[in-house]
Amino acid sequence: MDELLHVGRSIPRKDGPIKATGRAKYTVDVALPGMLAGKVLRSPHPHARIVSIDTGKAARLPGVRAVVTAEDSLKIKHGFVETPRYPADQYPIAVDRVRHVGEDIAGVAAIDEETAEEALSLIEVEYELLPAVFDPEEAMRPDAPEIHPNNPKVDEPYRNIGGKTATSWGDTERAFAESYLVREDKFYCQMRAHGYMEPQATVAHFDYSGKLNVWTSSMGVFLKRAKLAKTLGIPHSSVRVLKTYVGGAFGGKIDLFHHEYIASLLSMKCHLPVKIVYSREEVFKAARPAQPLIVRIKTGVAKDGEILGQEIEAINDSGAYHGSGVVVIFLAWGFAMAPYRAPNLKYEGYSVYTNNLVRAPQRGHGAPKMRFAVESQFDMIAEELGMDPVEFRLRNVRKPGDILPNGDSVKKFGLSECIERVAERTDFRNRHEAGKRERETGATVKRGIGIGTTAYFGGSLIYPNSSSAIVKLNDDGSVSLLTGALDIGQGCETILCQIAAEELRMPVEEVQIYAADTETTPVDIGSWISGLTYVTGNAVKKAAGQAMEKLLAAAARELDADVEDLVARDKQIFVGHSPERKISYARAVAASIARDRGDSIIGEGHFRTMKDVPTHPSLASTKGRWTENYSSYAQVAEVEVDTETGAVKIVKVTTAHDCGFPVNPALVEGQIDGQVSMGQGHILSEELRVENGCVINPSFLEYKIPCSLEMVETDYIDVITEEYKRGHHYNTKEVGEGYVSGTVASVANAVFNATGVRMKKTPINPYDMLAELKRIRKEVS
Amino acid sequence: MKKPGKRLISLQINGMEYEVAVRSDRTLLELLREDLMLTGTKEGCDDGSCGSCTVLLDGSPVRSCLLLAVEAENREVTTIEGLAENEKLHPIQQAFVDHGAIQCGYCSPGMILTAKALLDENPAPSEQDILHAISGNFCRCTGYNKIVTAIRAASRNGKGGD
């Protein structure tokens, strides 16, 4: 195997300089001649019939160029999932009825934001208020107000069940009867915001050629094109979604957002560019937040800690429409069963309509909540059995080669090695014992340590299912890489350039990347199912490999040598045994064009996971293949709990991770650090507070994301289970989502270790912490 | 709704003299981004909490979303566009690139300017000094670890700086 030149190395990201100098153009920076400011009128009510809308005064206001309501639309519904069981359930602009506060009712385009805002205030809407329901368990009751009376009934007689996932294997009743210990616990995870720094933003320009050009802060341009084309009733070829830099997404910018549709509709009406940028308050109050989850788990174990059976119920408050709710109840099953064996298992997940905001996925999409519940209960069981939490996990962890109940193989699964290595690095066993002793001491600040683990999927089948790439050799021997991938900050452009440069044995700097334009770049799976490096990476590898083959063939002819004897380096091709015989890439390109009647050198590559599998697994039954590469992690958190203030400080998080082969280790570290921070917000401080369906803390002053003063020290242990070999598949696994889970779970377990307080609800805020400490003290005395 | 009238003000931005007519209710952020197309300065919250819009006013970091443009009259404003000299990045910018301190990049302009103000004032800051200096600049991507590494590398402690 040739030495690797670029892959596996921590090269700085390619877009670093343009971002550091402020020249990177984000959607909020797009400005076009004649551009109008767009604004959206939103429902102030959680559930109401729209009796009438009068836009006359708004339309007559000087400076207003267009006003749209549902009457200007084709009234085509869409959904994050659109299947026969879960048909599209949401209009992109409300028709007759609103089901949550903030639902989009009308749009206005005007010469400036102030005029647009004034126009909004002139739109007269008459509502007839309807009974609303906000708690998912209340909404399930047979007598709850029905939010979608005409939707297919998923689970009668319960009301408002938008989706249900049910699966089982073995016999849980018998398993519990044979168990030494059975525990049943219920856990609650809050509703969180994504906290992307760039607000939702879109510029739409329907030009005079009949093309809708769209710049939008997103996570993948092809999905946006498909959904805009469908809801606007125009061909895909009439919609072009173009690249802009993206100021963070974390799951919150997938799917069609209605301001994208409204900006497009406004522009189609007035033929001028329309820009809609959310205020931060609007982001908090109307954009899709993440999925809250209630998890009930019953687990039976043998005396030696072996898990014999588990029953799990997950209830998701999906908000007023499906959003990703019907997906998160499927995924929550996967995150429950993938890392550890459970020979008997029964799972039921419910996605329940309420009159709350619609949800989006958020980094981990259910994993942080499910792992918080499972891993908290693991430690409770281990404590009761008198077992060390590490031993309990090692007793049950899946081993390399295990076949999951859905038929997936975990292949070279590194979780047991991750657990052992993170325990060793942190001296976990000794410090866990020391933590238990902290509970007994009179110290005000108590120190504890905890562990949390995860397994995660990567690049599953969901539209657009695959990625393609094109690699063009230029006349000077440099390369242009065309990919539909959209870099949302994770660094995919850099990684794809590394791969192309590796396969073409040339400097990374000589690879220019042209990305994320639905018109000029090939289809891409998107930056949102943890598969970009794997799926798009392999497409780029194939495209570059094909270009290299053509280049070598041209060189072989010119050098009168066999292709097998050629060696490529630094844009030169040599005959291996007589290196004085050589040709530059530039001349090889010219030779190909001259001798092959104009054939320039272009390579194309395509990649899709699970080629033998027609489609994604069943969201209802979990049947079908899910993914072909499971990543895994074990994380250990060290915390300090101030028993006087109830404040929890995360001192350090150590991560042992199996992400396959790290193409760019520095970028992997960046992903880990970011997820530790996001997990910190989840477990300690972030919560969207809602009253009657309205978010009441809509600013960063009241919704507290971690700041630098709370920075957590991080440490990493690479557990590399997959070697990359040139010319072979490159087995990368997920790296951008799963770590949130381990952080959340390990902190909860560390808090228990230090204080004996078991929090079953996140976030662990000082108020609740103090109350629990007080309760425990009372119990003791 | 009657809009306030415009005022003619002079100010220096990135070493250049500007004379602009600006409405008295416009923020410095709006002047920079919308009137002068200096879009490197970012808006993240509009209430002063996130720090994305940080610029330097006579060398000190300020939130340009909380400052009226007319308040910058006869003062010197430095935005992210004013740091690099031609194509050569400022050492702090280079350190951010080299040490993985940039992911989505949206907070980077404000963060880099805050770091510049810190290092101008204190060329050899401790980690605590750095954490305090950037505590008003949110970053959602990095967890701050690599930002602190970058600032330290650009400081005299990291053999960077003057």
Q: Are residues A199 and B53 in contact, defined by beta-carbon separation less than 8 angstroms?
A: no
What DSSP element (H or E) covers A514?
strand A511-515
Answer whether A677 sits within 8 Å of B144, measured CB to CB. yes
> Out of B3, B140, B143, whose CB is closest to A195?
B140
- According to the CATH classification, is domain B91-154 in 1.10.150.120? yes
- Ordered mean pLDDT values, 10 residues apiece, chain A (781 residues): 86 98 98 98 98 98 98 98 94 98 98 98 98 97 92 83 97 98 98 98 97 98 98 98 98 97 98 98 97 97 98 98 97 98 98 97 97 98 98 98 95 97 98 94 94 95 94 98 98 98 96 98 96 96 98 97 96 95 98 92 96 91 94 98 98 96 96 98 98 98 98 96 83 94 98 97 97 90 74
Total residues belonging to chain A: 781
Closest CA of chain A from B105, distance in Å = 5
Query: B42, A705: Cβ pair inside 8 Å?
Result: no
User: A572-575 and A212-216: which strand pairing?
Assistant: unpaired
CATH class given for the domain over B6-82: alpha beta
pLDDT of residue B1: 57
Chain A contact set for B30 (CB, 8 A): none
- Please judge whether A280 and B109 are an interchain contact, meaning their C-beta atoms are less than 8 angstroms apart: no
pLDDT tens-digit profile of B33-62?
Answer: 999 999 999 999 989 999 999 999 999 999
Helix (H) / strand (E) element for A456: namely strand A445-456
Residue B162 pLDDT greater than 70, yes or no:
no
Of A29, A279, A673, the CB nearest to B145: A673
**Does the beta-carbon distance from B143 to A19 stay under 8 Å?**
no
The CA distance from A695 to the nearest CA of chain B, in Å, is 16
Q: Contact B140/A708, CB-based, under 8 Å?
A: no
Distances in whole angstroms, Cα of residue A654 to Cα of each of A422, A482, A651, A746, B77: 7, 37, 10, 10, 42
* Closest residue of chain A to B134, computed from CA coordinates: A708
* Whether B106 and A247 lie within 8 Å, measured CB to CB: yes
Nearest CB to A248; choose among B33, B45, B106: B106
**Which residues of chain A lie closer than 8 angstroms to B49, CB-CB?**
699-701
Homologous superfamily, domain A31-132+196-249+253-286: Aldehyde oxidase/xanthine dehydrogenase, a/b hammerhead (3.90.1170.50)
- Let me know if the fold of A363-457+623-780 is the same as that of A462-608: yes
| pLDDT band of B161, cuts 50, 70, 90 | low
CA dihedral A452, A455, A461, A464 (to 10 degrees): 50
Using a CB-CB cut-off of 8 Å, the residues of chain B touching A26 are 42, 106
Q: Report the gap between the CA of A218 and the closest CA in chain B (Å).
A: 12
Report the chain B residue with the minimal C-alpha distance to residue A491.
B103
Residues of A in contact with B151 (CB under 8 A): none
Given a contact cutoff of 8 angstroms between Cβ atoms, the answer to whether A490 and A523 are in contact is no
A625 within 8 A of A408, measured Cβ to Cβ? yes
Q: Is B7 exposed, middle or buried (0-12, 13-18, 19+ CB in 10 A)?
A: middle
| A189 beta partners | A293
The domain defined by A462-608 carries CATH number 3.40.50.300:
no
Strands A181-189, A201-206: pairing is: unpaired
Say if residue A188 is exposed, middle or buried (CB neighbours under 10 Å; 0-12, 13-18, 19+). Answer: middle
How many CB atoms within 10 Å of residue A55? 22
Contact call for B132 and A709, based on CB within 8 A:
yes
Contacts of B37 in chain A (CB under 8 A): 31
Do strands A274-277 and A36-42 pair parallel, antiparallel, or not at all (unpaired)?
parallel
Here the tokens at position A30 are 């797009």
- Closest Cα in chain A, distance from residue B10 (Å): 24
The tokens describing B122, both together, are 């204190």
CA triple A735-A740-A741, angle to 5 deg: 105
DSSP state of A85: S
- Across the interface, of B100, B109, B140, the residue whose CB is closest to A196 is B140
Measured between CA atoms, the residue of chain A closest to residue B141 is A674
Q: Tell if the CB–CB gap between B135 and A709 is shorter than 8 Å.
A: yes
Domain boundaries, chain B: 6-82, 91-154
Please, where are the H alpha helices in A461-519?
Answer: 492-503
Using DSSP's 3-state secondary structure scheme, residue A740 falls into helix
- Measured between beta carbons, the chain A residues lying within 8 angstroms of B142 are 670, 673-674, 677
Q: Which two tokens stand for residue A647?
A: 């404040």
Q: Do A354 and A320 meet the contact criterion of CB atoms below 8 Å apart? A: yes
Q: Which residue of B has its CA nearest to A22?
A: B40
> Which chain A residue has the Cα nearest residue B35?
A31
Report the distance separating Cα B143 and Cα B127, nearest Å.
15
Nearest residue of B to residue A494 by CA position? Answer: B103
**CATH level 3 topology of A363-457+623-780:** Aldehyde Oxidoreductase; domain 4 (3.30.365)
Q: Which long-range contacts (CB under 8 A, 24 or more apart) does A424-432 make?
A: A425/A636, A425/A654, A425/A656, A425/A715, A425/A717, A426/A636, A426/A638, A426/A654, A428/A390, A428/A636, A429/A388, A429/A390, A431/A638, A432/A388, A432/A389, A432/A390, A432/A753
Q: How far is Cα A315 from Cα A685, in angstroms, rounded to an integer?
A: 22
Chain A CB contacts of B39 under 8 Å are 22, 25, 28-29, 31
Strands A36-42 and A602-608: unpaired
Q: B146 and A669 in contact by Cβ < 8 A?
A: yes
Calculate how close chain B gets to A80, using CA atoms only, in Å. 25
CB contact under 8 A, B139 and A28: no
* CB burial readout A725-757, b (16+ within 10 A) else e: ebeeebbbbbbbbbbbbbbbbbbbbbbbbbbbb
Question: What pLDDT shows up at residue A1?
Answer: 46
What residues are paired with A456 via a beta bridge? A631
Chain A interface mutation, best of B141, B144, B147, B149, highest count of A Cβ atoms under 10 Å: B141
CA distance B41 to chain A (A): 7
Please work out, in degrees rounded to the nearest 5, the angle formed at the alpha carbon of residue A319 by the alpha carbons of A318 and A324.
Answer: 40
Binary contact (A22, B109; C-beta < 8 A): yes
Q: Which of these, A448, A182, A293, lies nearest to A760 by C-alpha position?
A: A293
Cβ distance A197 to B104 less than 8 Å, yes or no, reads: yes
CB contact under 8 A, A669 and B141: no
- Cβ-defined contact of B100 to A12 (cutoff 8 Å): yes
Which residue from B minimizes the CA distance to A676? Answer: B143
Interface test with B, best of A708, A709, A743 (most B CBs within 10 A): A708
pLDDT at A596: 83
- The tokens for B68 are 């009226």
d(CA A552, CA A546): 10
Q: Which two tokens stand for residue A282?
A: 């609007």
Closest CA–CA distance from residue A764 to any residue of chain B (Å): 19
User: What is the least distance, in Å, from the CA of A249 to any CA of chain B?
Assistant: 9
Q: What is the chain A residue with the closest CA to B130?
A: A708
Q: What are the tokens at A97?
A: 């009825």
Residue pLDDT, tens place only, B15-38: 999 999 999 999 999 999 999 999
Per domain, the residue ranges of chain A are: 31-132+196-249+253-286, 363-457+623-780, 462-608
- Which amino acid, B137? N
Tokens of A328: 């998160």
List chain B residues with CB under 8 Å of A680: 143
Sheet strand arrangement including A48-54 = A97-98, A48-54, A124-129
**B87-135 tens-digit pLDDT:** 899 999 999 999 999 999 999 999 999 999 999 999 999 999 999 999 9
Nearest CA in chain A to B107: A197
For chain B, the first-to-last Cα distance in angstroms comes to: 53
Q: Determine whether the interchain pair A21/B83 forms a contact, defined as Cβ–Cβ distance below 8 Å.
A: yes
- Host H or E run for residue A18: helix A16-20
The closest CB to that of B52, out of A15, A197, A669, belongs to A197
- Residue carrying the six token digits 């954009």: A287
Q: How many whole angstroms separate alpha carbon A559 and alpha carbon A498? A: 28
| Amino acid occupying residue B68 | L
Contact check, Cβ <8 Å, B104/A280: no
Q: Minimal CA–CA distance to B110: which of B35, B48, B42, B45?
A: B42
Which one of B80, B103, B129 would you mutate to disrupt binding with A, by most A Cβ within 10 Å of its Cβ? B103
